[in-house]
Structure 1
Amino acid sequence: MSELGARASGQGRIFQTSGDQHIEEHHHHYGAGAGGPLFGREAALSAGAGPAAPDSVRMPLVGRAPGVLRNREELRETLGAAVAGPGGEVHVVHGMGGCGKTALAYWLFNEAVREHGRVGFWVNASELMSLRAGMLAVAGDRGAGAGELAAAAAGRRAAADLVWHHLDHSTDPWLLVLDNADDPTVLESGAWLRSSGRGTVLVTTRHATSPLWRGPGVHRHPLGVLPLEEAAQVLCDLAPDAGDLASARKVAERLGRLPLALTLAGSHLSHQLLESWSMDEYDRKLGEESTVIVDRGAAGHGGSQSRQLVGRTWQLSLDALAGQGLPEATALLRLLSFLAADPVPLSVLVPVARGEVTVDGLEPALRPEQLEPSLRGLIDHSLAELVTVDGVRCVRAHGVLLDSVAGGVPEDRRASVADAAAALLETALPDEGSDTPATRSRLALLTPHVTRLLTVAADERTALLGVRTLRQVYESGDYAAALALAPTVVEAVRGVLGADHRLVLEAEHLQGTALFRMGRFADSEQLHRRVLQRRETLLGADDVDTLHSCAALSQSLDLLDRDEEAETWAGRALDGYRRTLGEDSTEALFIWCGLIEILPQLGKEREFAQEGPALVAACERALGPDHPTTVLARHDYAGGLFGFGRHTEAEPMARQVLADRIRLQGPDHPLTLSATSLTARITHALGRTDEAIRMMKELSEHRARVLGHEHPFAAHDRAWVATWQAGARG
């Protein structure tokens, strides 16, 4: 391979022939997966359809604004000076769950926006999917185009590079809050945490010791519980009529001076209807049958010892709600505790209110007519809050509270709670096969809850739900998120069903296709080969899933330049699909396209001359002229004609493909750019050098905008232009 050659990632590869002085580019347009309902779908997001990104990154993801921020004066002074200065720093506030990190970030956000004229961005960094969606929304706010965002979401362009390019070139100074970064590996994957002279970054986390916090320009700030006087004052702020400062001190000390516990207690005292406890009475009640909770997020994540908290605080609030005729509030909070601390769309709960999903397995039963009053009760007592994400109203509870409640669900009730949660998520997930900005946004909101359910209550039903969600995340085009989600799903499903269950193999197959999409072709080939061997043994050689593995293995081998082996597996998949699904099945026609693309690489002109026209005719007859696979067939056939030097025959078909790509997928779609490249190279081969140079120049600029200036495709576009210009000069 010459110095102009380079391996491309994602959609194809590039290499240079020897002797001809023109570069041949072969793009591999595989569907969104090589198996099941994924097979035959287009490779990437449709043009203009960006990733599932919230439009609320300009607003803090906080439902009820914190009241007076007690204590923290020294840290507030430090952070305030940071947002007043020129920028370039990263500040990490770490401490145990519930100690007020988000409240402090909320204060700083408002300080930066209102007092210092900075643009504020708030991103939920609790897991990769929400982080990527939020950060890409930040890039969009700073001027990234739809094509750039789609390329980043689909893994064709480094997403973090795109985001930080636009942050670095922001015309406005900014503050970026990365909230709830309790798993630093989420930030580390993709190098999301960086600094910029145009702004200041604030990270909130329970994790105190990550190597990420030790880089240049990174400042760590521990945040602990409140001093006693300030903790007591918080109670007096929330419930001024419940007692004096001396009584508040006793309650605050019993609650460990943790802001979350103080907020729950103050909300309870201020919302009593049937009883009016004083703080002294509340203190006595806390002492009765008190429960000790270990803050799971604190051990090793913000302190050297596990913090022990009194856990009767939330139970007293639930007891009070039961006394007000709302015992169902307990059932609702238990249901929420099996979901994540991320926002839960209210639409998830609507089927309960309509009686379409029954949750009578809970104790007490959650009756449809009591859902809304119970939800209002939880919100009134600060056990939950309302937030809006991407225009969607959601309910959210604190992670420490959810862990505590979930841990307290009796063993004989856990299966009922898990079934109810799974039923709601099954109903709320978008229909499989639907792919719009709205459905991608909904999927991004629901995925963390599926992951949480798998970790707290893995069973056969939740395993099926996990694989479905993984498949839909992959189909949405967010391949990086699918790759991050896959190990959790594979491990959970394997633990429930055993290593050789069909569902486990499907999850591993999805993991392999995600590896392929992210350019990790060797890893993908190894995983697909292992899955293929197990599917052959367990399911048989002609099972459709086995054939999907053959097709996926062929794709990986093709991108590894092992063309003969790739042809063998593609041929086996094609023969099998024709036998089992029919010659005109989408699967058979799609893998036939892949086989047609391999033939020119092997120099098999006779076979190509027979198979190419037959493929195009079959696709047009069975699928119609505008079906993605039909367009792909014409694209691959035109590319093969060009590869064999049949330029006059290739040109009209290539121009038709280019027009179809623009009409059906838009000018920014990677396959449209590929068709433009093919047309330009055919134009040059026909001797119309000036026209070809103009087309390729425009393409190189276009690709640089969408994929980045350093992307191999953009670099090769520039190389073609330089070669052609040198040739024109003699």
Structure 2
Amino acid sequence: MTMQSFVTAVVIALIAAECCGLLQRAARGLIRWAVRLSHGRTPRAEIRLLEQYQNLDDCSGEIGKLLFALRWAVRGVVQQAIGPPVETCWESAEAGQIFSAVAALRTGLQSFGGDIRTHPPARRKEFDRQAARLRALLGKPCAVFDDETADVLLATTTTTCQAYVDDRNERAALDLVKAALPLMGRMGRGNRAVLGLRRAHASAVLATGDHRRAEALLRELMRDELKVFGPHDPQTIKTAQLRYWAWHSAERFDKAEAGLNSLHTRMAGMPGVETTDRQHVQCKHAWTLGTLHRVRESAALYDHVISDRAGTQGADHPDTLDARHSKGKMFVHNGDGQAARTVLLPLVADMRRVFGARHPYTLETRKYLALASALSYPLIRHEHRAAVRELRRVLRFQRHRHGPGHPLTHDTRMWLAMLTEHAEKS
């Protein structure tokens, strides 16, 4: 194959991929327009839209999707011409109609399994679209939701927020919480669904680096949860875990280590505690031990967590890969470049395969592998230059995705400044 024919094939493939994307967007736009014509902005419209989006996804091929959407558009025009049926607005709709609309959206979001980290771009965009619909529902007057519907809506918001936090998209999570504030106020601080969303809110704030505000939110939440659940409930344990992690973020390492160690001991004999929660506590404890330069203890605990997660969730599960990354990162922070390279070098390939080249998890692993290489070969100039180039690439992506003030962006900028200064001195 000549270079010209290769370039031509690549261009044709790119044009075909772009055309497929345009066809899919056109199909979704036609269905949305047809549903608005037939049902207006009513609870019934929400249900029909989600149903037809699901039917659209089941169609084979982009042309098939477009033909399906065109049929619906024709039906919408015909319905509008003969006079659409009288539809009730949200404020006067029956409680059953509103609950059905909320339940349909909940089902759509549940199909993602509460974790979007490994989903392909098309599915992630679909999650964003459904989250936008959730935000629109939260913007409806609080009075249209009865208590049961409000609980479902808030619980759905909680799982959606947590999925965004796990994916390092804290801004999207905080936007959802902001939209839910009026409904949270109506249901009261002690409502169980509200307590769950408050925890997700505190988790998002903590992930943005605002540990003082997060600690204040968690302190109030802990007080309210103790009244509702008591000290030995798994929900209270989730909040305690976040509070100790906030202490770590505030550089109270000894206090955080003691709290996490004590929490893990308590969880061992506590019924109802999920395995994933126990593993999260162990992982945070391992990182805290590394921060205190207790490297052997930290590495041993990480090995236990990695083995446990691989056995219960799979070797390619995001949490298993994240524990491997944290172990390598711990070695970098303690100056052991060779040990870090041993962990991170094979991990980069796994991260690219599971998440993609530009996912936040992959970028962080690339960054710390570059730092490990610079640590391993301090006298070799080209290793430092390669590390600087890699960190600049990572920083460019992080600024675009997270913004300049995000903790991940700040961490990369700090390491890049240190490497650049070292290169100039040498």
TM-score (norm 1): 0.43
Establish whether residue 704 from structure 1 lines up as the match of residue 395 from structure 2: yes
Deviation at 1:545, TM superposition (A): 0.6
Per the alignment, do residues 641 and 419 of structure 1 end up closer, same or farther by CA in structure 2, a change over 3 Å counting? closer
For 2:182 and 2:172, the matched residues in 1 are separated by 16
Distance 1:406 1:349 in 2: 19
SS of 1:625's equivalent in the other structure is: coil
The number of residues matched between the two structures is: 363
Task: Give yes or no for contact 1:466–1:489 (8 Å, CA) kept in 2.
Answer: no
Q: Does 1:678 find its partner at 2:361?
A: no
> CA shift at 1:636, angstroms?
2.3
Which residue is equivalent to 2:170?
479
Matches within 5 A, 1:196-235: none
- Cα distance in 2, alignment partners of residues 382 and 569 from structure 1: 65
Equivalent pair of 1:450/1:465 in contact (CA under 8 Å): no
- Inter-CA distance 490–506: structure 2 relative to 1 (3 Å threshold): farther
Q: Does 1:418 align with 2:98?
A: yes
Q: Which residue of 1 aligns with 2:149?
A: 462
Q: Distance in 2 between matches of 1:512 and 1:490?
A: 14
Query: What amino acid maps onto 1:722 in structure 2?
Result: T
Q: SS at 2:309's partner residue?
A: helix
Answer whether contact 2:155 2:193 (CA < 8 A) is retained.
no
Map of 2:225 onto structure 1: 535
Mapped contact 1:463–1:489 kept (Cα < 8 A): no
Q: CA shift at 1:642, angstroms?
A: 3.7
1:433 aligns with 2:114: yes
Distance 1:633 1:349, change over 3 A: closer
CA distance in 2, matches of 1:448, 1:439: 14
**Take 2:104 and 2:31, find their aligned partners in 1: how far apart are those partners?**
24
- Identify which of structures 1 and 2 has the higher relative contact order when contacts are C-alpha pairs closer than 8 Å and 6+ apart: 1
Residue from 345, 348, 367 that aligns with 2:50: 348
Partner residue, 2:63: none
What's the offset of the Cα at 1:592?
A: 1.1
2:337 touches 2:374 (CA, 8 Å); kept in 1?
Answer: no
Question: Does 2:117 match 1:451?
Answer: no
Question: How far did 1:614 drift?
Answer: 3.3
Which residue in 1 is equivalent to 2:423? 725
Change (3 A) 1:616 1:338: closer
8 Å CA contact retained: 1:638, 1:653: yes
Report the CA distance shift for 1:338/1:471 in structure 2 as closer, same or farther (over 3 A).
same
Assess, with a 3 A threshold, how the Cα gap between structure 1 residues 622 and 417 changes in structure 2: closer, same or farther: closer
Call closer, same or farther: CA 1:606–1:344 in 2, change over 3 Å. closer
- Quote how far apart the aligned CAs of 1:380 are: 2.8
Q: CA deviation at 1:438?
A: 5.1
Q: Is the 8 A contact 1:338 1:453 kept in 2?
A: no
Contact 1:651 1:679 in 2 (8 A): yes
Q: Residues 445 and 61 from structure 1, CA distance in 2 versus in 1: closer, same or farther, beyond 3 angstroms?
A: farther
Check whether the contact 1:584–1:622 (CA below 8 A) recurs between aligned residues. Answer: no
CA distance in 1 between partners of 2:190 and 2:315 (Å): 41
User: Alignment partner of 2:228: what SS?
Assistant: helix
Higher Rg: 1
Q: Closer, same or farther in 2 for the Cα pair 1:573/1:419, shift >3 Å? A: same
SS in 1 for 2:269: helix
Could you tell me how far 1:627 is from its partner in structure 2? 2.5
- Contact preservation (8 Å) 1:673, 1:699: no
Cα deviations by residue, 1:242-277 (Å, 9 ceiling, x for unpaired)? xxxxxxxxxxxxxxxxxxxxxxxxx9xxxxxxxxxx
Contact 2:306–2:323 (8 Å) recurs in 1: yes
Deviation at 1:383, TM superposition (A): 6.9
Give per-residue Cα distances to partners, 1:360-388, cap 9 Å, x unaligned. xxxxxxxxxxxx9996676237879xxxx
Using a 3 Å threshold, how does the CA distance of structure 1 residues 582 and 592 change in structure 2: closer, same or farther?
Answer: farther
C-alpha separation in 1, matches of 2:303 and 2:31: 56
Deviation at 1:488, TM superposition (A): 4.2
Superposed counterparts of 1:612-623, under 5 Å? 612-623=302-313
Q: Is the 8 A contact 1:473 1:479 kept in 2?
A: no
1:489 aligns with 2:180: yes
SS at match of 1:614: helix
Q: Which amino acid aligns with 1:433?
A: G
CA contact (8 A) 2:103 2:152 kept: no
Structure 1 distance, partners of 2:135, 2:220, is 29
Alignment partners' CA distance in 1, 2:33 and 2:312: 52
- 1:483–1:511 Cα contact (<8 Å) kept: yes
Structure-2 separation of matches of 1:349 and 1:620: 36
In the alignment, is the contact (CA less than 8 A) between 2:47 and 2:104 conserved in 1? no
| 1:574 to 2:264 alignment | yes
Q: What CA RMSD, in Å, does the superposition of the two structures yield over aligned residues?
A: 4.0
CA distance 1:624–1:422, change in 2 (3 Å)? closer
Structure number with the higher strand fraction is 1
Aligned to 1:654: 344
> Cα offset for 1:460?
2.0
**Structure 2 unmatched runs, 5+:** 1-23, 54-72, 117-122
Q: In the TM superposition, what whole-angstrom CA distance separates every residue of 1:96-131 from its partner, at most 9, and x where no partner exists?
A: xxxxxxxxxxxxxxxxxxxxxxxxxxxxxxxxxxxx
* Distance apart, 1:429 and its partner CA: 4.2
Taking the aligned partners of 2:329 and 2:274, their CA distance within structure 1 comes to: 23
Note the alpha carbon deviations across 1:69-88, whole angstroms, 9 max, x for none. Answer: xxxxxxxxxxxxxxxxxxxx
| CA distance 1:598–1:585, change in 2 (3 Å) | same
* Structure 2 residue aligned with 1:379: 80
- State the Cα distance separating 1:530 from its structure 2 match: 1.1
Q: Which whole-Å CA distance do the structure 1 matches of 2:284 and 2:299 have between them? A: 15
Please tell me whether residue 692 in structure 1 is matched to residue 383 in structure 2: yes
Structure 2 residue 310 is the aligned partner of structure 1 residue 627: no
Q: Is the Cα contact below 8 Å between 1:483 and 1:514 reproduced in 2? A: yes
Assess if the C-alpha contact under 8 Å between 2:158 and 2:196 holds in 1. Answer: no
